[in-house]
Amino acid sequence: MESTPFLKLGTKSQMGTLQFFNNLWQLLEPFSISIYLLLFLLLLLNIFLSKRNKSCGSKPKLPPSPPKLPLIGNLHQLGEHLHRSLRSLSDKYGPLMLLNLGQIPTLIVSSPEMVGEIVNTHDVVFSSRPKTTASDILFYGHKNVLFAPYGEFWRQARKICVLELLSLKKVQSFQFVREEEVEILVNSLREVCLGGNNSIDLSKMLISASNNAMSRCILGHSYKEEDGSIKRLGELSHQMSKQLAAICVGDFFPSLRFIDVLRGFVGRLRSTFRAFDAFNDRVIEEHKEARKFHGGPSETEDFVDVLLRLQHDPMLGFELTHDHLKAILQDMLAAGNDTSSAAAVWLMAELVRNPRVMKKAQEELRRIVGEKSKVETDGIHQMEYLRCVVKETLRLHPPAPLLSPRETTASVQIGGYEIPAKTRVLINAWAIQRDPRSWDKPEEFIPERFEKNSVNFNGQDFHFCPFGIGRRRCPGMAFGLVNIEYLIANLLYSFDWELPGDCGPPEDLDMSEISGLSVRKKVPLHVLPVARFYLP
């Protein structure tokens, strides 16, 4: 799924100027007064050069922009939840809005009409990625797919992912993994039920089950426990997610990148990278040894096996180095683990919060499955209401609300405005999918809106784009959807779900957010599972 490592500032949805400068002061506090003076002088120099360059030519017609402050531009107008504060600004300044985030011009797109114009007429120009400090360090200099700039390497690498790693045939080949991991989860929940009226942290259990399934598909096994030299994979992935979303001074003030070194941020990134790099080397070496032992890949290839096979394929068309292989694996782990588990938690939270919808989904499931011990894959295709529930969850809670940042490769006209080359672009899918012009009662959870409705994930319904649009649309869509649907179907079939007595009415369930590589539910979902029946 597309992901948004961009910015996290402040503690309220709309920070004031004083709060921004307070946060900035805390960020720079460890430095001496000489560093402050140097910073100030460099910024003044950049402003002078920028103004001199602008005065040399005619002024283009740019999209509307909120008033900005010297040096920091519009950074002070952004809150903790970027997608929410950007919607508030777009409501005032329009569906195309140009912000100056430090020294970085950033276009905010907040309407399906503007998204359609981008995809249908200028998709290539809008298909590159900006280079950020975190993505450069953590992904081997952008040798992955998610953060790679638009070009020949990205086209070839994405082709590998689509044809070899994420094809429908490959998705189906891992059904046994999904079945085994879901069975483990269901059995754990049954033990809880047998132990009495105990609430559980369902968020933790869903994240663990999703991570284990993804790890087995990608790496061959779940890596639940590691030795003392390597952290658990889930913990390491969570750390990387937070770092990709953290503020980086150099990403907004390129001439001040040294500050990120001085404050230790770059050092922390490199520490995470080294841990992941050692883990990746270990996994690849294990697979190479297994291939030697078996005289080739195993009968069921995981993603590492596929990449090792392709690495020596003379027909591949480009060099797939050791670093490329590790970066692509890291891509799959980061995007797949974070977004799939976040979506599963949001879905169950919405069902617990809306008992009517849960009951209707369970009635459909139990009618189709009958008295079998579990939901089978073939039955999923008949569960139309469950599909509507999944769509409505992704409409209200797209795992990456701003998709992934893009960057224009040339000057282009959109909506009658000139968009300069090297402009960063954020598409606010969260705002688009809650636009009252496209959706009736957009803030309410109503899966019925998708019944007998052709709106789908294909990237052509621009008012519904949780997996992105155009060339950079998420190639792992089918993989993620199958995982979520099968997991949730079995949980709804085998259990009824209630909130603990001290949680208040369902409609008051805390649905606050926390940002990382994807947007997760901030408060863990504590629920009471009630088993429908017990198997011997």
Contact 433, 395 (CB under 8 A): yes
- Burial of 76 by CB count in 10 Å (0-12 exposed, 13-18 middle, 19+ buried)? buried
To the question of whether residue 465 is assigned a binding role by annotation, the answer is: no
Residue 140 CA to residue 144 CA, distance in Å, equals 8
* Alpha-carbon distances, residue 489 vs 24, 194, 206, 396, 481 (angstroms): 46, 21, 13, 20, 12
Q: Which residue has the tokens 């319904």?
A: 461
Nearest to residue 352, comparing CAs of 480, 464, 206? 206
Q: Is 23 helix (H, G, I), strand (E, B) or coil?
A: helix
Residues 6+ apart with CB under 8 A from 470: 118, 119, 123, 126, 127, 459
Question: Are the CB atoms for 447 and 135 separated by under 8 Å?
Answer: no
Tokens of residue 221, six digits: 């096994």
Total residues found in the chain within this entry: 536
Structure tokens at 357: 């919808």
Tell how far CA 492 is from the center of its chain.
25
- Please, where are the H alpha helices in 220-321? 233-245, 249-252, 258-262, 265-294, 303-311
Which two structure tokens, joined as six digits, stand for 199?
């609430």
Can you list the alpha helix ranges (DSSP code H) found in 58-174?
82-93, 112-122, 133-138, 152-160, 168-173
Token pair listed for 423:
């402009």
Map tokens 């005619």 to a residue.
Answer: 58
Q: DSSP letters of 29-80?
A: TTS-HHHHHHHHHHHHHHHHHHHHHHHTSPPP-PPP----BTTTBTGGG--S
Residue 179, both tokens: 């079945």
Give CA 260 to chain center in angstroms: 24
CB 354 within 8 Å of CB 348: no
Cβ-proximal residues to 471 (8 Å cutoff; 6+ apart), any chain? 123, 124, 127, 150
Taking the C-alpha atoms of residue 349 and residue 335, their distance in angstroms, rounded to an integer, is 21
Q: What is the spatial distance between Cα 478 and Cα 86, in angstroms, rounded to a whole number?
A: 29
Q: How far apart are CA 435 and CA 443, in angstroms?
A: 9
Name the amino acid, one letter, at 140: Y
User: Which parts are annotated binding residues for heme?
Assistant: 474
User: Which parts are annotated binding residues?
Assistant: 474
